[in-house]
Structure 1
Amino acid sequence: MMQHYLQTKREYPGCILFYRLGDFYEMFFEDAEIVSRELELTLTGKSCGLPERAPMCGVPYHAVDSYLTRLVEKGYRAAICEQVEDPRTAKGMVKREVVRIVTPGTNLDMESIDEGKNNFIFCILYGQQGKSGISVADVTTGEFFMTESEGDRKIYDEIIRYSPSEIICNEGFMLSGIDLRDLQDRMGIVINTLGHHYFDEGPAAEVLKKHFRVSSLIALGMEDKRAGSTAAGALLRYLYDTQKNSLSNITGISVYASGKYMLLDSSTRRNLELTETMREKKKRGSLMWVLDRTCTAMGARRLHQMIEQPLIDAELIRERLDAVESLCQNTVDRDEIREYLQPVYDLERLMTRVSYGSANPRDLIALRRSLKMFAPIRQVLSDFEGGLLEKLRDDMEDFDFLVDLLERSIEDEPPIQVREGGMIKAGFDEDIDRLREAKTQGRQWLMNLEAEDQERTGIRNLKIKYNKVFGYYFEVTNSFKNLVPKDYQRKQTLVGAERYTSDKLKSLEDTIL
């Protein structure tokens, strides 16, 4: 085990390795000392074949997200080495592999992330004598943006605009005139330099085309944006490397020109107190606090973006104001929409958990309740003709089929975790119903089969027994061997008895075990 730990650690040298051992994630050697110090955990030791015991500390697997969040907030990266096979059926050492890497910009712990703000990761391909490519993503919502910029001032303003938790960049950015210390110390941004291969134009383009299933970057609106597309490809590759899944929640990329929005430098943003106060760095007292009457976390994040990125295109401004005016004039419809929005959960982050395979049963109930509101909201929006509100209505898909599926399949009050069982309604799936019955009636089934075969064969002392090697079997003493039926298959011969199985017993065994 320790050899595998050390080998895995060598493969992820810049990460603290969380190594799954039973119900705990364990850290050893220097990682254990760091985690013990930063998270105030007890440091113990483990024999490892060396003269001295290896420093060790651990955290319970069910609470690991909170510990990971505290670590990444301090600027660390963590690699999660998980058991990828059932320990009960494993032969030899349980197979383990790294299933994801957690960084400040890729943290998926929804409990610790501010639901009203995005958790952006920012990628910059710095060009010393020309355009720089910029790409931004939020893995918790699936948002993905790309632009190009010239000059350190404009790049810095883009960083301030998004306020990311993590920046990944090429070497050129580290040598630029941008105040990196201000980004790290004042804004708390973690900056990581990526290898040159991430920013190779050809491979970066291929990553984008493969992910979005297009044959050319023209389909993504990037045909004349070499620096921007390379930054986007580098970011996407980094996300693949850290998340180790298909990133199916990232379904599109928004290509924008930085000149589309009002240019506000960092000093102006601070003085205007757009989203936080200048002195206390809190939302209360800011413009966002005054305006925020949103009903959902998605709405709060959208308002946050609108305040941070004021439009300067007159046509877009008029379009937005027309929609606001329509809602102000139709108070009944507006209040009805707000009422339907109240039960809507954070769909963007819910869908991320679903696409990552980390959704729990109660997430599915939240998804069902949220999607159920689409139909009445669309109905109210049908009162509005033209403009953004009509476009919004037309863009809302019909999810009645999914709502119906979730209502038929998931219990109204399911357990918190999938592994607890009991989340699927009775009658939805015959196989599941059969397995549930086996859990409670399996012993009775075996007793019934035993009695049935005793009567059928005339073997009065026939017994159904079990061991870990052979599973369930019929045991027949030698005095009744002549009565063994043809449908029995011999499994083992003992001194005074023989053991058999049958197709019916095998079928019961498959169901029960």
Structure 2
Amino acid sequence: MSNNTPMMRQYLEIKSQHPDAILFFRLGDFYEMFMEDAVTASRVLGLTLTSRNKGAVEQVPLCGIPYHSSQGYIARLIDNGFKVAICEQVEDPKDAKGIVKREVVQVVTPGLVVDSDNLQPKENNFLLALAVAEGEHFGLSCVDITTGVFRLTECRGMEELRSEISNLNPREILVADEELTATACGRLKPLFAERLINRLPEWVFEPDRARRLLLDFFGVANLQGFGCEHLHLGVRAAGAVLHYLQQTRQGALDHIRSLSPYACADYLILDAATRRNLELTATQGDGRKKGSLLGVMDRTLTAMGGRKLRHWINYPLNDAGQIRARLQAVGELRDKSMLRGDLRESLDGVYDLERLGARIAMAGAGAKDLVGLRTSLEKLPAILNLLGELEAPLLTHLAAAIDPLEDVRDLIAEALVDDPPFVLREGGLIRDGFNAELDELRLISREGKGWIARLEQQERERTGIGSLKVRYNKVFGYYIEITKTHLARVPEDYQRKQTLVNAERFITPALKEYENKVLGAEERIQALEYDLFQEVRAQVAVQGARLQATADALAELDVLLGLADLAHEADYVCPRIDESTVLHIEDGRHPVVERMNLGERFVPNDVLLDTEEHQLLIITGPNMAGKSTFMRQVALITLMAHLGSFVPARAARIGLVDRIFTRVGASDNLASGQSTFMVEMTETANILHNATTRSLIILDEIGRGTSTFDGVSIAWAVAEYLHDHAPVAAKTLFATHYHELADLALTCKRVKNWNVAVREWNDQVIFLRKIVKGGASHSYGIQVARLAGIPPAVVERAKEVLRNLEAGEFSAEGRPALARGRGRPQAPSPQLSLFDPGSDALRRKLEDIDVSVLTPLEALNVLDGLKKMV
């Protein structure tokens, strides 16, 4: 380092403090990157790579970007998994004694992005920390620094943790370096894919240190006021989050005002597979919002309302009173269409007050942000007047929670111009009349032109030189210019400043004094305006708690208005919520599919599930007929009711559900070495272990990932288990192509058969999309294969094979073949055996026959006789 220039020594020292980040080193109007950082950044950002010390033996790679356009470059680096350390000049170069002092003022990571251009407006940007204990017990804490949300919880078991990480979808995860190599975390590594993982020292998660850090930050004596004193693992994770924020943000975190504990059991639980299969917030195919439940339900007008709706979908309520309160509010807003329209019009255009408040608190908001806050606050009186006409308790509660913040609105209106510039240090921010000193300086600046014109006229009259001019440029300042033909008339008090070819430029004591006054005024105006803006921003930041509460109430109002608008437009009905185990939907519709342009009318369907008579519905029918659509719509209607939404049906009675499980579709998990069938069985095992009598289970094609006989055997056993085991006995929709499972209704009293109605016409299948009682006689797979374009020869041969297989569905006694021998040991048998090898008489008879000497006709007669013996 001693051989480097002072500036490079400064760079290397700062870089050594942030070895895992790309260092943006401020040099004038540019951020420069050196050495390995320059090589990496040039490749990722497409920048030209050059070097310092050109011509020297050891050259230093170099690239740079303009500081005023850095956000786009930072975003691209973050998206590629890098951290960026922003190193700024922290003193004025004019005041520097030697090299300008520089410091890292911020470290930007995926979980700590605050620039609005690099965030999804209607999604939280979570940073998550994970603390691990023995026995698969986990503490989890997440923060969204852009909104101030800070939460913690604890998870029991790998599946619950997997579900919660999937739900929060964090951009960045913090974990102790030692724990990342542990068995538990090793199993979670596939969840960490495509997320930045930060390995922190184990002492960061130390319980006493984490707790003390939280107490000092919030200024409290204990954590009981937050309700999380007993959540020791969660507190460890929260302490790690706070440590990381303090180490990377290098600034105020005043907008983080609370720590909110929650328990997964407080909500209707949705595991990761269910969220994926039901396409709640994104489609499985391309991960887009369009085509998901959120895409249909989102009528919100504000970004904070969009985030609130996403949270409601991910965390549906399981408290009947809270659900009914939301439904009552949605119902009143739906019925009062004109008032709802006025409220939505008033809410439209309100800025993202949550993120705006966070930027103000972190001193990152500009003048345009504050003006946006003012215009948003100006809408609140009209919103409050309209809310005064509503009666639903939840709506009156929201009205009481909305603080109009008149003092903040008036302060900004008095201080800032309506259209301030983006750049804060060049003036033009503050209104006339806000500050007396600023007004005086502006008067001096504005009167400069008039003073110059008067001086010019006075000097012409005094010297008798009609061509005398008073001018200004940035290099020489103010001067008097006289052509050389009139130099003899120049007064003695003129001081020569510059000689030109045809003229001379002079300065006078009076002009020099005025120059100092005017030019000093411009500099003082810019500095004073910036100081005044910072004071205004700080005064607004003090009111952050009031702003945050108002933002939360407006977000909830936005969601309720959107749900009411959707209910009115799409003809949704208010579900009846109760404590029973009944799920009864009349003319239910799939909320997403019914809005697609599929070229045919959507056919509504009924469903009745309970734990007394209709616990498990076996649903058979061909592919493409609508089994999966029907089952998913039942799950989605149930979920929509639990988040407080009206539902697409003619009528709906929804008994509270504690969990929704789905096992749908074929997928593998190559990262963890799991085949499609292993994934299917793992998800099924999770359902069987965790379902309760209040759960809703959606099973689609259990057992199809293995051989036919294995698959139908597993499917039969799973269905029996769900029916017979009292700790489970959950409401279940069980779709299958194994129409043999329809025989379960003969042995299980709470099993009912339903099928998707079809009609055959000229060997063609017509899908009626209607769910009717009874089992399907066959699956029509061959007809569907024909529709898909399978060659005719293959179709015809498939029919022959099918006839051969269907001949052995029942035993000779006419009982369902799959139900035989339950609980009794049986001799092993090869699959596709033609006879029951358990018959000793039959075996002895076969041993007496020499089949090699029989003619085909004799063989048929023997088989006929053996069949009668069976």
TM-score, normalization by structure 1: 0.85
Give the AA of the match of 1:78: V
Report matched runs for 1:459-478 at 5 Å: none
**2:438 aligned with 1:432:** yes
1:512 shift after superposition: 5.9
Match for residue 372 of structure 1 among 378, 383, 387: 378
Kept in 1: contact 2:23–2:86 (CA 8 A): yes
Partner of 2:196: 190
Report matched runs for 1:79-478 at 5 Å: 79-129=85-135, 131-170=137-176, 171-178=178-185, 179-185=187-193, 188-385=194-391, 387-441=393-447
> Matched residues in 1 for 2:56 and 2:11: separation?
15
Give the AA of the match of 2:17: E
Kept in 1: contact 2:50–2:63 (CA 8 A): yes
> Which deviates more, 62-71 or 222-231?
222-231
Kept in 2: contact 1:410–1:424 (CA 8 A): yes
Kept in 1: contact 2:328–2:392 (CA 8 A): no
> Matched residues in 1 for 2:39 and 2:353: separation?
39
Partner of 1:486: none
1:284 shift after superposition: 0.9
1:158 shift after superposition: 0.8
Percent sequence identity over matched residues? Answer: 41
1:510 shift after superposition: 6.5
> Matched residues in 2 for 1:509 and 1:68: separation?
37
> Which deviates more, 417-426 or 125-134?
125-134
Gaps of 5+ in 2: 1-6, 456-491, 494-508, 524-870
> Matched residues in 2 for 1:65 and 1:174: separation?
35
Give the AA of the match of 2:190: D
> Matched residues in 2 for 1:53 and 1:440: separation?
52
Q: What SS does structure 1 have at the residue aligned with 2:411?
A: helix
Cα deviations by residue, 1:227-279 (Å, 9 ceiling, x for unpaired):
11121121012111111112112122211111112222222111111111110
**2:25 aligned with 1:26:** no
Kept in 2: contact 1:368–1:403 (CA 8 A): yes
1:112 shift after superposition: 2.0
> Matched residues in 2 for 1:343 and 1:46: separation?
50
1:338 shift after superposition: 0.6
Match for residue 74 of structure 1 among 54, 63, 80: 80
> Matched residues in 1 for 2:62 and 2:389: separation?
64
Sort the Cα spacing of 1:329 and 1:351 in 2 relative to 1 into closer, same or farther, 3 A.
Answer: same
Sort the Cα spacing of 1:203 and 1:284 in 2 relative to 1 into closer, same or farther, 3 A.
Answer: same
Give the AA of the match of 1:245: G
1:74 shift after superposition: 0.9
1:315 shift after superposition: 2.4
Sort the Cα spacing of 1:303 and 1:441 in 2 relative to 1 into closer, same or farther, 3 A.
Answer: same
Cα deviations by residue, 1:371-412 (Å, 9 ceiling, x for unpaired):
112222122222234532122111111311111111122111
Cα deviations by residue, 1:293-324 (Å, 9 ceiling, x for unpaired):
11111111111111122222222222222222
1:346 shift after superposition: 0.8
> Matched residues in 2 for 1:65 and 1:234: separation?
27
Q: What SS does structure 2 have at the residue aligned with 1:350?
A: helix
Kept in 2: contact 1:442–1:512 (CA 8 A): no
Sort the Cα spacing of 1:259 and 1:414 in 2 relative to 1 into closer, same or farther, 3 A.
Answer: same
Q: What SS does structure 1 have at the residue aligned with 2:93?
A: coil
Sort the Cα spacing of 1:17 and 1:183 in 2 relative to 1 into closer, same or farther, 3 A.
Answer: same
Q: What SS does structure 2 have at the residue aligned with 1:419?
A: coil
Equivalent residues, number: 470
Q: What SS does structure 2 have at the residue aligned with 1:157?
A: helix
Q: CA RMSD in A?
A: 3.0
> Matched residues in 1 for 2:286 and 2:268: separation?
25
1:174 shift after superposition: 4.3
> Matched residues in 1 for 2:454 and 2:105: separation?
45
**2:14 aligned with 1:4:** no
Partner of 1:51: 57
Cα deviations by residue, 1:18-77 (Å, 9 ceiling, x for unpaired):
100011101000010010111111100012997311000111101111111111111111
Larger Rg: 2
TM-score, normalization by structure 2: 0.51
> Matched residues in 2 for 1:183 and 1:106: separation?
20
Kept in 1: contact 2:136–2:184 (CA 8 A): no
Kept in 1: contact 2:23–2:87 (CA 8 A): yes
1:225 shift after superposition: 1.2
> Matched residues in 2 for 1:381 and 1:243: separation?
39
**2:48 aligned with 1:37:** no
> Matched residues in 2 for 1:510 and 1:202: separation?
56
Kept in 1: contact 2:174–2:199 (CA 8 A): yes
Kept in 2: contact 1:248–1:355 (CA 8 A): yes
> Matched residues in 2 for 1:197 and 1:292: separation?
43
1:180 shift after superposition: 4.2
Cα deviations by residue, 1:474-502 (Å, 9 ceiling, x for unpaired):
xxxxx99xxxxxxxxxxxxxxxxxx9xxx
> Which deviates more, 192-201 or 53-62?
192-201
> Which deviates more, 86-95 or 59-68?
86-95
> Matched residues in 2 for 1:442 and 1:206: separation?
60
